[in-house]
């Protein structure tokens, strides 16, 4: 147990709050929220409900994506004056697809201590309950809404070999599922966690096609987090230098240019095109000198 008295002056506390079940607010989070000088939160009315229930009386100050730059100097001033400051979001961990990161970074920059009081996070809760590999994973958050950026990001996300966690709002879920089926095929493992920690918590899986079929008949409602299985690992062919050179020469003999043959072999072997070019170049030099 930490010997430090909490909350300490001039410290920013990043406090995790429940993503549904009120019982998930930790005793430590509760204690800090009750004793801290000021609480910054996304929506004072929304957080007011939780804070009223636990009889928190500290003043609230709004801090959200539309007033971040405006609020930062004021919040830094609170810390500078020796007061303690807690940051919470509407639900879960601040800074995870929620405002917070800029404040943490500014507080650190100004030389203040920042302490996270850990709590629930939908991403990690969905991941560990999905049954998909947890050893290496990526967090994608919300995908961009704009068509061009979204397409580019989806291409990256769907070729990712690690398990990927995606947040999505219920009214855009079916569109995303259709995109995933189109890009990953029907069989890619997928688990959607709906209403985690709440009364109607539900897990829907196990493949892209099955999940899409489900939500085409059951209108998505509530909060959803997707856990997408990684793309199949590409097996690279193993060649030594002379085999690679022979493969490239065979492609060139069949009409490919030097650059096309190097690109093809780079894709198949994972070697850089530069190395493959140099093999072709060496061959040219040896042939010329003979
Ligand atoms: N900061 C939060 C966290 O730590 O999880 C995330 C906030 S983000 C604005 C909200 C998104 O998180 C939702 O659209 C949904 O994708 C996911 N989410 C939040 N609560 C959830 C829940 N109870 N069940 C499933 N997903 C949830």
- Enter the tokens of residue 236: 């690279």
Average pLDDT, the chain: 93
Of ligand 1's listed atoms, the one at least distance from the Cα of 193 is: 25
- Give residue 140's pLDDT: 98
DSSP 254: T
Report the nearest atom of ligand 1 relative to the CA of 166. Answer: 16
- State yes or no: pLDDT of 78 exceeds 70: yes
Partners of 163 in beta bridges: 137
Residue with the bigger pLDDT between 275 and 152: it is 152
Ligand 1 pocket at CB < 6 A: 19-20, 89, 91-93, 96-98, 121-123, 167-169, 193, 195-198, 223-225
- Taking the centre of ligand 1 as the mean of its atom positions, its distance from the CA of residue 122, in whole angstroms, is 5
Rounded to whole angstroms, the Cα distance separating 257 from 260 reads 5
Tokens of 164: 């990927």
Distance 179 CA to ligand 1 centre (A): 21
| pLDDT computed for residue 127 by the predictor | 98
131: burial class by Cβ within 10 Å (0-12, 13-18, 19+)? middle
Tell me what pLDDT residue 39 has: 98
| 272 or 17: which leads in pLDDT | 17
Say yes or no to pLDDT of 238 above 80. no
Residue 205 to residue 203: CA distance in whole angstroms: 7
Q: For the whole model, what pTM was predicted?
A: 0.83
Low-confidence winner among 65-69, 88-92, 112-116, 284-288 (lowest mean pLDDT): 284-288
| pLDDT for the residue 260 | 86
Per-residue confidence band for 2, with pLDDT thresholds at 50, 70 and 90: low
pLDDT at position 25:
97
Give the residue, 255 or 8, on which the prediction is more confident: 8
DSSP per-residue codes, 181-238 = HHHH-S-SBEEEEESTTSTT-EEE-SBHHHHHHHHHHS---S-EEEEEPPPPPPPPPP
Q: Band the pLDDT of 276: cuts 50, 70, 90.
A: confident
pLDDT at 285: 62
Q: Which atom of ligand 1 is nearest to the CA of 167?
A: 16
Would you state the pLDDT for residue 287?
65
Q: Average the pLDDT over each of 6-10, 144-148, 235-239 and give the range with the smallest value.
A: 235-239
């Amino acid at each position: 147990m930490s010997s430090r008295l909490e909350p300490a002056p001039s410290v920013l506390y990043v406090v995790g709050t429940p993503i549904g079940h009120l019982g998930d607010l930790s005793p430590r989070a509760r204690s800090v929220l009750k004793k801290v000088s000021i609480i910054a939160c996304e929506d004072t009315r929304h957080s007011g409900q939780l804070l009223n229930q636990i009889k928190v009386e500290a003043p609230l100050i709004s801090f959200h994506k539309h007033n971040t730059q405006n609020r930062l100097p004021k919040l830094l001033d609170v810390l500078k004056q020796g007061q303690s400051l807690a940051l919470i979001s509407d639900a879960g961990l601040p800074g995870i697809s929620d405002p917070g990161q800029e404040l943490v970074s500014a507080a650190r920059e100004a030389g203040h201590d920042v302490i996270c009081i850990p709590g629930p996070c939908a991403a990690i809760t969905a991941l560990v309950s999905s049954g998909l590999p947890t050893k290496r994973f990526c967090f994608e958050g919300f995908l961009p809404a704009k068509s061009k950026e979204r397409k580019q990001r989806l291409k990256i996300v769907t070729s990712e070999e690690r398990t990927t966690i995606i947040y999505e709002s219920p009214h855009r879920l079916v569109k995303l599922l259709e995109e995933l089926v189109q890009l990953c095929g029907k069989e890619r493992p997928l688990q959607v966690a709906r209403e985690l920690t709440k009364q109607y918590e539900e897990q829907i899986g196990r493949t892209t096609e099955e999940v899409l079929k489900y939500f085409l008949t059951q209108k998505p409602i509530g909060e959803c987090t997707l856990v997408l299985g990684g793309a199949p690992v590409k097996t690279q062919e193993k060649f030594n230098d002379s085999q690679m050179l022979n493969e490239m020469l065979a492609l060139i003999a069949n009409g490919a240019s030097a650059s096309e043959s190097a690109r093809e072999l780079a894709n198949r072997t994972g070697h850089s095109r530069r190395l493959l070019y140099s093999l072709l170049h060496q061959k040219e030099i040896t042939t010329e000198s003979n």
